[in-house]
Amino acid sequence: MASADTAYIIIEGCGGHGAIPEKETDSIIAASSIVMALQTIISRNVSPLDTTVVTVGLF
């Protein structure tokens, strides 16, 4: 019995320039941290005997 769920996470921010990094919001770093946290869901919260997949399909 397989099932699928979909979650949409929208991170908004503004980009910047390498010469003035203090004026950007680092939305890519925030999104990367969320992907890393999603990967730890399986390794820390699910039994190794259970089949579980978490996929980040669009970045």
Predicted confidence at residue 34, as pLDDT, reads 93
Coil, strand or helix: which one is 9? coil
Convert the pLDDT of each residue in 13-42 to its tens digit: 887 788 888 888 888 888 999 999 988 888
| pLDDT above 80 for 8 | yes
Helices (H), 1-59: 27-45
* Global pTM value: 0.71
> How many whole angstroms separate alpha carbon 6 and alpha carbon 53?
12
